[in-house]
Amino acid sequence: MDNLPDIVSGLQQVFMSTAFMWDTEVLHKYGTSGPRYTSYPTANLFRGDFGVSAYLEDLEQLRQRITPVSLYLHIPFCQKACFYCGCNRTITRDRGKIAAYVDALLLEIEQAAAIHGHRRVRQLHWGGGTPSYLEPAEITQLMHAISSHFDMDGSSSRDYSIELDPRSIDESKLALLKGLGFNRLSMGIQDFDSQVQSAINRRQEFPMVERLTRAVRRFEFSSLNFDLIYGLPKQTEQGISDTLDKVLELSPDRIACYNYAHMPDRFPAQRAILASDLPEPSERIDIYASIGERLTSAGYEHIGMDHFARKDDELCKAAREGSLQRNFQGYSRALAEDLVGLGASSISQVGDFYVQNERDPEAYVSMMEQGSLPIIRGIRLSEEDKLRRYVIQTLICRLRLDKRAVNRAFSIDFNRYFSGQLQQLKKFEEDGLVELGDTQIRITEAGRLVLRNICMLFDQHLGESSAVRFSKTI
């Protein structure tokens, strides 16, 4: 019976659907560093001298705009450091510091409402950090401020979501969130394997998550997302398979499955992770393939690069209808033209600009106390940027690009304009990652893993920044 594991693994190969039978060797050669394309141009190109006066003039015009708006609120505080973390967060138990930050946010909500307050808030997202680490009174205060300064959406089609750390939430906080109007929740799970949880310094037992999930269902939130991460230290195919058993038992509506980016030079907390504990690149691909296989077999649809959703979830409908967007919060439905970011480090996408707030929470608080605009850098999109953003966004969200639609929208001849890129894409086509038609470019199932590489071909600014800043694409 010594060869039983080999037999089991062989059977898994036989039963694995062809969609997830990738040639690891082929994919391996595409392993490079590159942006995640949550914006184009990417945030590392934002500059301090982006032209704040032109931006302010643009804002004046926006006072006339009556289309819906998205709001993003950044809460940068966490109680304990997870070793894999690459977010802009501050570890603190100092409630006074958090209270001062909430006061600053209240001021920025008022400041933003002076421009956008009349617009309907179709999307609202609280991210971090750990928004659920706030006290119930602080959460209530912030939500009341937003509701009294903006035109809130009471319809069931709104997207009002918040990121939860299961360790900082209980049933009474969930009830509060429901009462305040949040209808979508996202829980950071990462992996249920206890060895992995120890290696990343994030212990959260399954029974706790199970209890919370049951409460989420009882309170009838519209949608629950679980975040998983693959490529973590001590992670194995067997371990992730056990994690997926538990995930499927809880049956979240959406699952985001991110690729861990090990960049200890950029993110000091990651120095506590031993490189020797990380799965090899080929193992990571196998782990991702087994996740994809399990989730799609269980009825989830694969969306974009790294999301899965139940067929009746709004995200799936948006993917089918072509109304998906990708921004700093990952994939979501495209419900509003402008995204207004509030809080330290948050990024706004308004008019022709991306602008970013001061990253340091204390510096942000003093700027707000002095009545200044907290923006420190940004970029104005050129016409060329808009064209390339359209191409990149379409590929990354729809997995297909209609060249005729690009020709119509930007008055170009796609084949001539991007002849160099089409030439480079031939290599991807030979490897079964894209299909190049007369009128369309289509990404195959295996091509989802190299979507970032494909988008990089259309990124005019790629050479302007050091690749060291970016994570590995595979």
Q: How far is the CB of 130 from ligand SF4 (least distance, A)?
A: 5
Q: Of these, 16, 52, 87, 263, which contacts ligand SF4 (CB under 6 A)?
A: 87
330 sits near ligand SF4 (criterion: CB under 6 A): no
Q: How far is the CB of 93 from ligand SF4 (least distance, A)?
A: 13
Per-residue mark of binding to ligand SF4, 88-107 (x: CB under 6 A): -x------------------
Contact 30, 473 (CB under 8 A): yes
Q: How far is the CB of 128 from ligand SF4 (least distance, A)?
A: 5
Q: How far is the CB of 175 from ligand SF4 (least distance, A)?
A: 22
Please tell me the total number of residues recorded for the chain in this structure. 474
Q: How far is the CB of 187 from ligand SF4 (least distance, A)?
A: 11
Query: Which range, of 127-135, 230-238, 289-297, 402-410, touches ligand SF4 by CB under 6 A?
Result: 127-135
Query: Which range, of 57-65, 85-93, 305-313, 376-384, touches ligand SF4 by CB under 6 A?
Result: 85-93
261 sits near ligand SF4 (criterion: CB under 6 A): no
Q: What is the CA radius of gyration of the chain?
A: 22
85 sits near ligand SF4 (criterion: CB under 6 A): yes
Q: How far is the CB of 299 from ligand SF4 (least distance, A)?
A: 28
Query: Which range, of 26-34, 79-87, 321-329, 448-456, touches ligand SF4 by CB under 6 A?
Result: 79-87
78 sits near ligand SF4 (criterion: CB under 6 A): yes
Q: Of these, 59, 75, 82, 164, which contacts ligand SF4 (CB under 6 A)?
A: 82
Which residues have C-beta within 8 Å of that of residue 437, sequence separation ≥ 6? none
Query: 251: which 2 tokens?
Result: 């049956």
Nearer to ligand SF4 among residue 85 and residue 422 (C-beta): 85
- CA atoms of 126 and 79, how far apart (whole Å): 17
- CA atoms of 98 and 118, how far apart (whole Å): 29
Q: Encode 279-307: b = buried (16+ Cβ within 10 Å), e = exposed.
A: beeebbbbbbbbbbbbbbeeebbbbbbbb
Nearer to ligand SF4 among residue 75 and residue 247 (C-beta): 75
Nearer to ligand SF4 among residue 166 and residue 447 (C-beta): 166
DSSP 10-33: HHHHHHS-GGG---HHHHHTT--B
81 sits near ligand SF4 (criterion: CB under 6 A): yes
Closest CA to 397 of 344, 321, 465: 321
Residue type for position 18? T
Q: How far is the CB of 75 from ligand SF4 (least distance, A)?
A: 10
- CA atoms of 343 and 432, how far apart (whole Å): 43
Within residues 130-149, the interface with ligand SF4 by CB under 6 A covers 130
Within residues 188-217, the interface with ligand SF4 by CB under 6 A covers 188
Per-residue mark of binding to ligand SF4, 373-412 (x: CB under 6 A): ----------------------------------------
How many residues in the shown chain lie near ligand SF4 by CB under 6 A? 11
Contact 335, 315 (CB under 8 A): no
Nearer to ligand SF4 among residue 163 and residue 286 (C-beta): 163
Nearer to ligand SF4 among residue 78 and residue 199 (C-beta): 78
Nearer to ligand SF4 among residue 78 and residue 174 (C-beta): 78
Q: Of these, 108, 138, 159, 165, which contacts ligand SF4 (CB under 6 A)?
A: 165
Residue type for position 92? T
346 sits near ligand SF4 (criterion: CB under 6 A): no
Q: How far is the CB of 34 from ligand SF4 (least distance, A)?
A: 22
Nearer to ligand SF4 among residue 20 and residue 328 (C-beta): 328
DSSP 64-95: T--S-EEEEEEE-EESS--TT--S--EE---H
DSSP 44: G
Q: Of these, 34, 35, 41, 129, which contacts ligand SF4 (CB under 6 A)?
A: 129
- CA atoms of 306 and 330, how far apart (whole Å): 9
Which residues have C-beta within 8 Å of that of residue 165, sequence separation ≥ 6? 78, 130, 132, 133, 187, 188
Nearer to ligand SF4 among residue 232 and residue 334 (C-beta): 232
Contact 187, 164 (CB under 8 A): yes
H-type alpha helices, 150-205: 171-180, 194-200
Q: How far is the CB of 76 from ligand SF4 (least distance, A)?
A: 8
166 sits near ligand SF4 (criterion: CB under 6 A): no
Q: Which residues pair with 377 in a beta bridge?
A: 356
472 burial (CB, 10 Å; 0-12 / 13-18 / 19+) is middle
Contact 454, 428 (CB under 8 A): yes
Residue ranges that bind ligand SF4, judged by CB under 6 A: 78, 81-82, 85, 87, 89, 128-130, 165, 188
